[in-house]
Structure 1
Amino acid sequence: MANSSYCGDFDNLVSAYYSIHGYASLAVCLAGTVSTGLSMVVLSRPELAAPTSSLLSALAAADALVMLEYVPYTLHQYILVDRPAAERFSYGWAVYVLFHAIFTQIFHTISIWLTVTLAVWRYLAVRFPIQSKLWCTAKGTRYAILAACVGSTIICIPLYLSFSVSPFKDGTVYYVRLSELGGVGERLLIHINFWIYSVLIKLLPCVILSFLSQRLLAALWENKQRRRSLLNKDDKDGDRTSRLLMAVLILFLVTELPQGILGLMTVFLGYDFFAQCYNSLGELMDLLALTSSTLNFPLYCLMSRQFRATFAAISRKAFSKVFEKDTSVSSNESVKGQENRGAQL
């Protein structure tokens, strides 16, 4: 019998949220796609050209792909549910659900490790400013992005092997189930997958980011105190950088740390905890991860003056083009109207 003590108090909350998850996640995904798209446009501008901007662009691209892919999934899984079972659980949709699980895991892992890489490079830039110019180059950026993509694809291999699409009953409906390989050795592959997910994908990046952020903030504080004593004035840019780093760290920890802890508890507490807690809170964890990606753009705007200035310049240019086009169309229509009236006279 399942242990009823696990997460029993969350049942009402989970049930209430499940009914709105589809609409909430759809709204977040649409807003996040626009947000990440704007980030990529701004970061691609020549005035922001830098290796870190390339990392941020790759991070935004990974987040955008996750949110774009989540849109058809949430429509199928949570919103368009009033359909025949044979349509909702067709073989094609079952394959897509399996693809969704793998795709989102890979690209979210890429996003996480690009965030770690960004923190490492920022720390090197502050702690070793001269050497970092040789280490953190455009070529190094390409290698870092490639390493994140290849590494994330490799460490997710147990996930690919753990599940498969199987028919149910008369073969008219299909589900994603544990594969034969996933059930071997008392579900050894599943345990490996949870270890990788909770430790390598969630908890280890949180530990690394926490350590680097602490060291980075300490180095920034030392530099600020040194400049204050030499120039007798405050370093406002350093303050903004510190606030940005703290905001990024807090956002990352709030969204990723709970998932890592839940994954690790599943390893130790077993299937009962997975069924009652981890699986039940899956939608809430998805929304947290999606919201984290959506908030990056407003975070950059709030914390980076150069980012705001570049975005404002792009917006003014875009609006001016639209205004000029509207003015041109209105002028042409006015001329045509005068010509028509002249012809009538």
Structure 2
Amino acid sequence: MTRVFNFSPGPATLPEAVLRQAAEEMLDWHGSGMSVMEMSHRGKEFMSIHAEAESLLCELMGIPAGYKVLFLQGGAIGQNAIVPMNLIGRTGRADYVVTGDWSKKSAKEAAHFGEVRIAASSEEGGRYTRVPAQAEWQLDPKAAYVHYCANETIGGVEFFWTPQTGDVPLVADMSSNILSRPVDVARHGLIYAGAQKNMGPSGLTVVIVREDLIGHAMPITPSVFDYKIQAAADSMYNTPPTYAIYIAGLVFKHVKSLGGLAAMEAHNRAKAAVLYDFLDKSGFYSNPIQREARSLMNVPFWLKDAALDAAFLQGAQARGLVGLKGHRSVGGMRASLYNAMSIEGVQALVAYMRDFEAQHG
């Protein structure tokens, strides 16, 4: 069996060790005689899987007391509505910082539930290439929360600092960089993330919410989306995405075995440096993102001549490099370098890019 180097933005590559363990346990999990897929979510077997996954995540991220971890469904796009339904009713308004397509969509969705202000935006000519400095932000002290996207998957713009919002709770979409490096959870009121980048398969959404922010849901909020109801039921108000939680637990255990989030950051910075260093020295490829905001997770780049895009992708596939096509809204290429991508994969990509440039430059 030959595995490709998968640069897809999500669902993304998973650690091979995790996939092998899941394969070994597929038919019989720890002598239970059944697959995790078949277990009752209220049975003792799955309850132990659920508890271990939650415990490992708390350990890895240093989640302090006073927070609830919820394992939900609906993806980050679902949370674009669920967050305001649970939080915006506290004051009726919220601030959003827009640094790319995902935070722009988040703000648009939230506007259905209250008054939404764009506290800062880095959009210039329809493109996003930076993170607005804190001095540019115009924050409303009466906002129910301030929302930002920690890493923009499409545009490749990432926050490397935690915004200061005073007494107003800070909400972060960390779907594409959660577990990639340490984060100060205590400086956030709520963090949410789809699992399909760094944590596991699609279908699972993790929400980390400060307890004082629970219990303010708007009357229109469906019960299954009410953080208070889900927290009281330990994420079991409805059947949770059991197999996705199981895989996430294996990923958490794997990350811990590698040295935790500090080790992940060193690994991810080393990988990204290989690709960015090559891009900076090339006149054939380009990346327009300001250096201090360049994502470690998603690296968009463009060929000098877009007419060569199809040939580039075809040649990459022939060398076992897949998932490199850029998002349809911006074109070009995009290499996603999530935790499970090896440095060997990035080196193979750069070697191919160098060969392609020599042939077509």
TM-score for both structures, normalised by structure 2: 0.23
**Hey, which of these two has a bigger chunk of strand by percent?**
2
Question: In terms of Rg, which structure is larger?
Answer: 1
Higher share of residues assigned helix: 1
